[in-house]
A and B are shown apart, each in its own frame.
Chain A
Amino acid sequence: MFSRREFLMAATATSALLGSGMAGSWSRLMAQQSLTEDQLLAMDPKGKLTLVHITDIHAQLKPLYFREPSINLGIGEVAGQPPHVTGADFLKLYNIAPGSPDAYALTSEDYVALARSYGRMGGLDRIATVIRRIRAERGDDNVLLLDGGDTWQGSFTSNATLGQDMVTVMNALKPDAMTGHWEFTYGTDRVKEIIDGLPFAFLGSNIYDAEWDEPAFEAWRMYERGGARVAVIGQAFPYTPIANPRWMIPDWSFGIKEEDIAAHVEEAIAEGADVVVLLSHNGFDVDRKLASRVDGIDVILTGHTHDALPEPVIVNNTLVIASGSNGKFLSRIDLDVQDGKVTSYAHRLIPIFSDVITPDAEMSALIDEVRAPYEADLQRVLGRTESLLYRRGNFNGTFDDLICQALLSERDAEIALSPGFRWGTTLLPGQDITFEDVHNACAMTYPAAYRTAMTGQMLKDILEDVGDNLFNPDPYYQQGGDMVRVGGMGYTIDPSKSIGERISAMTLLSTGEAIDPAREYIVAGWASVNEGTEGPPIAEVVEAHLSKNPVVVLPDNQSVKLAG
């Protein structure tokens, strides 16, 4: 880890390169050639009420590297609209100086160099400090802390403890409510067991009993904060039983159900709510559409698609707030409430620079305690990477390339498929690859790496299906992941086409031959949603591959071509 002094020097050097004339809220900090905790937290307060939003932590307790995507295409009306803006365009849109802390936190531009300067981000002990300071500044009774879910899954320790490490640590942060998605992959019984013991609300207005179509979870709750009545409606990931195994939660049915949200908004207002908040795991585009169709929501705290936006997007008088993922950010929203209405707001997306924000000592101790039984395993070095390993991006991620290589070689397959998850941490060139790092990319409760025969037609159908989940022009039909990653096969995709017409030029890379729709290919993959999938856990497959190939060097992946 960088010492404070080294960090300041790095910031100074970057600043000197850039000179003056930088715009954006953090250029001022750059001009001072340093970052401090006070500066990261400073904002002009508004009103009495403060919402604090964190989401998609994916069980990351410790500071980490997480590279934002360089490709995140928007289709139809949202083309070129946030969050479908990346790299230099993002910097321009938000007036952020290249090389600044903001540029490092929010984009993939010059990522490796900036990561070396600015260091890791996140860490729930740093987040604890930020939350403690916001509560101290605003008053305990005026702050609502809301967790958007995807909190309990994504690490070796969360898997090993069935989410308990995260539950223990999050409880110490004292949230007021949460909703969920990957939480449900621990299965009905475990989810119920945890929720029964939570000292705060688990809200899911869109979860119903699958047989009787009756509400299965508490839909919303009223809070008195900052002199206002604040209704928080919970919206779990609508496609959990489709994107994840339905057999693990057979009794629960989900869906977007916007009429139900509208009904809850009306109920809340009838019960005297001054402020209506939707704590959502819908994904950004779904929530943007929902905000345009359902009146009366003051704030949507959105999650699932892992977007970090430095400003709210305002739709139909609703503030849509995107707070990033993996503990890299936390949003603070101050609301001035007058006569039962929100009259003004202030917002800050607070980047958690782990070398700048002082860890909360009690939380550091608690994190060490929950990790202690596994610490020796976690630190075990399996290899070293000479390439940047990351996952985010619509079509490729180098960490997924590594996983696909492992599947091809260890499972003796012609083609490998790896899901387009958006969680999973980043490793810089020269870093060791530890047991923990591999599990950060693979940790889940249905990890079996299958090996099966699929026809060329079936492979095309899968690519078309996933492509439509990502690029359907109607956000309500989008599931929010990225394109399935493919090893051993190349293809061309035109996202603007419709299902059945997006994918072309499928090619078996080993021979250069076109994929034959009628021929069967040996395919290895993981994370099948089908019950009874057989095979070794994917982390073991990657570990076995690394034991034979301990130095990872990955060329640029050119196998997916973009058309249209």
Chain B
Amino acid sequence: MTITRRQMLGATAGAAVTLAFLPRLALAAAQSTDEAIMAFTKGATPTEGTVSLDTPEIAENGNTVPVGVSVDSPMTADNYVESVLILADGNPNPAVATFHFTALSGVAEAKTRIRLAKTQNVIAVARMNDGSVFIDRKEVKVTIGGCGG
């Protein structure tokens, strides 16, 4: 599995264009998340399920948050996961990484670490070889911390 720099940059550039026409930054970020998803799914609306994210509910260190993703798939030549896009909807560039798979990957699982400056949703979108798309979304809280009993 690899992360294509080119694909990430493509998604980011798309977001930047949108930004210029929107009056509010927050709205722009949300919009660019949706746009990045739509670009990845080629316009299809993803269904919940099949893909699942493993993230902490509250980040221990926002600078390096472990994110795992797995997709329920037989990973055979006829039925496999093509790609998984990871997004963080509060980041200036929401599309964080894309993992590509083939049937020879055996399982569709990946782990990485991402930086989250504030509380936000981490999103995983999986695209299968038949073009069907699935989504999972988890809120990761980034706290000031310090008062547990």
A residues at B contact (CB < 8 Å): 181, 210, 213, 237, 239-244, 246, 253-256, 259, 304-306, 419-423, 461-462, 465-466, 468-469, 474, 476-477, 479-482, 484, 499, 527-529
Complex Cα–Cα for A499 and B141 (A): 11
Complex Cα–Cα for A325 and B147 (A): 18
Known: A254-B60, A255-B57, A477-B58. A461 touches B144 (CB 8 A): yes
Checking A253, A259, A461, A482 against B60 with a beta-carbon cut-off of 8 angstroms, the contacting residue is A253
Checking A244, A259, A462 against B148 with a beta-carbon cut-off of 8 angstroms, the contacting residue is A244
Interface residue total, chain B, C-beta cutoff 8 A: 18
Determine the chain A residues whose CB is within 8 A of the CB of B56 once the complex forms: 255
Determine the chain B residues whose CB is within 8 A of the CB of A527 once the complex forms: 146-147
| B60→A306 contact, CB < 8 A | no
Known: A465-B143, A465-B144. A481 touches B61 (CB 8 A): no
| B54→A239 contact, CB < 8 A | no
For residue A422, which residue of chain B has the nearest CB?
Answer: B149
Check B46 for interface membership: any CB of A closer than 8 A. Answer: no
Check B92 for interface membership: any CB of A closer than 8 A. Answer: no
Check B43 for interface membership: any CB of A closer than 8 A. Answer: no
Check B23 for interface membership: any CB of A closer than 8 A. Answer: no
For residue A446, which residue of chain B has the nearest CB?
Answer: B146
Determine the chain A residues whose CB is within 8 A of the CB of B58 once the complex forms: 239, 242, 477, 479
Check B90 for interface membership: any CB of A closer than 8 A. Answer: no
| B147→A479 contact, CB < 8 A | yes
For residue B68, which residue of chain A has the nearest CB?
Answer: A213
Complex Cα–Cα for A241 and B145 (A): 9
In the complex, besides A253-B60, A476-B57, A479-B149, 7 extra interface pairs with C-beta distance below 8 angstroms are A242-B59, A255-B60, A305-B149, A423-B149, A477-B57, A527-B146, A528-B146
| A469→B57 contact, CB < 8 A | no
Within 8 A of A (CB), among B88-115: 111
Determine the chain B residues whose CB is within 8 A of the CB of A461 once the complex forms: 144
Determine the chain A residues whose CB is within 8 A of the CB of B66 once the complex forms: 213, 253
| A469→B147 contact, CB < 8 A | yes
- How far is the CB of A262 from the nearest CB of chain B, in Å? 13
| A242→B57 contact, CB < 8 A | no
For residue A483, which residue of chain B has the nearest CB?
Answer: B147
Known: A256-B57, A477-B58. A242 touches B148 (CB 8 A): yes
Checking B57, B141, B146 against A529 with a beta-carbon cut-off of 8 angstroms, the contacting residue is B146
20 A–B contacts from the bound complex (CB under 8 Å): A213-B111, A240-B148, A242-B60, A242-B145, A243-B145, A253-B66, A256-B57, A306-B149, A421-B147, A423-B149, A465-B143, A465-B145, A468-B141, A469-B147, A469-B148, A477-B141, A479-B148, A480-B148, A481-B149, A527-B146
- How far is the CB of B147 from the nearest CB of chain A, in Å? 4
- How far is the CB of B137 from the nearest CB of chain A, in Å? 14
Determine the chain B residues whose CB is within 8 A of the CB of A420 once the complex forms: 147, 149
- How far is the CB of B141 from the nearest CB of chain A, in Å? 6
For residue B57, which residue of chain A has the nearest CB?
Answer: A476
What is the interface of chain B mostly: helix, strand, loop, or mixed?
loop
Complex Cα–Cα for A213 and B141 (A): 20
| A484→B147 contact, CB < 8 A | yes
| B147→A243 contact, CB < 8 A | yes
For residue B61, which residue of chain A has the nearest CB?
Answer: A246
Complex Cα–Cα for A422 and B147 (A): 10
Known: A213-B66, A259-B54. A481 touches B60 (CB 8 A): no
Determine the chain A residues whose CB is within 8 A of the CB of B119 once the complex forms: 499
3 pairs of A and B residues whose beta carbons are closest in the complex? A243-B148, A481-B149, A422-B149
| A462→B149 contact, CB < 8 A | no
Within 8 A of A (CB), among B120-149: 141, 143-149
Complex Cα–Cα for A210 and B56 (A): 13
Complex Cα–Cα for A242 and B60 (A): 6
Complex Cα–Cα for A466 and B149 (A): 12
Determine the chain B residues whose CB is within 8 A of the CB of A255 once the complex forms: 56-57, 60
For residue A304, which residue of chain B has the nearest CB?
Answer: B149
| A419→B147 contact, CB < 8 A | yes
Determine the chain B residues whose CB is within 8 A of the CB of A465 once the complex forms: 143-145
Determine the chain B residues whose CB is within 8 A of the CB of A528 once the complex forms: 146
Q: Interface code B63-101, partner A: CB below 8 Å = 1, 0 otherwise?
A: 000100000000000000000000000000000000000
For residue B54, which residue of chain A has the nearest CB?
Answer: A259
| B57→A462 contact, CB < 8 A | no
Complex Cα–Cα for A461 and B144 (A): 8
Determine the chain A residues whose CB is within 8 A of the CB of B144 once the complex forms: 461-462, 465-466
Determine the chain A residues whose CB is within 8 A of the CB of B147 once the complex forms: 243, 419-421, 466, 469, 479, 481, 484, 527
Complex Cα–Cα for A242 and B57 (A): 12
Checking A181, A243, A474, A480 against B146 with a beta-carbon cut-off of 8 angstroms, the contacting residue is A243
| A480→B57 contact, CB < 8 A | no
Complex Cα–Cα for A466 and B147 (A): 7
For residue A325, which residue of chain B has the nearest CB?
Answer: B149
Within 8 A of A (CB), among B10-64: 54, 56-61
| A469→B143 contact, CB < 8 A | yes
Determine the chain B residues whose CB is within 8 A of the CB of A246 once the complex forms: 60-61
Determine the chain B residues whose CB is within 8 A of the CB of A244 once the complex forms: 148
| B60→A237 contact, CB < 8 A | no
- How far is the CB of B107 from the nearest CB of chain A, in Å? 16
- How far is the CB of A560 from the nearest CB of chain B, in Å? 15
Determine the chain B residues whose CB is within 8 A of the CB of A474 once the complex forms: 57
Determine the chain B residues whose CB is within 8 A of the CB of A305 once the complex forms: 149
For residue A500, which residue of chain B has the nearest CB?
Answer: B119
Complex Cα–Cα for A77 and B147 (A): 24
| A481→B143 contact, CB < 8 A | no
Known: A255-B57, A477-B57, A477-B58. A242 touches B149 (CB 8 A): no
For residue B139, which residue of chain A has the nearest CB?
Answer: A477
Complex Cα–Cα for A244 and B143 (A): 12
- How far is the CB of B32 from the nearest CB of chain A, in Å? 22
Checking A422, A499, A529 against B145 with a beta-carbon cut-off of 8 angstroms, the contacting residue is A529
Determine the chain A residues whose CB is within 8 A of the CB of B145 once the complex forms: 242-243, 465, 529
Determine the chain B residues whose CB is within 8 A of the CB of A243 once the complex forms: 145-149
Complex Cα–Cα for A254 and B59 (A): 10
Q: Which of B60, B66, B147 has the most CB of A within 10 A?
A: B147
Determine the chain B residues whose CB is within 8 A of the CB of A241 once the complex forms: 60-61
Complex Cα–Cα for A479 and B143 (A): 11
Determine the chain A residues whose CB is within 8 A of the CB of B61 once the complex forms: 241, 246
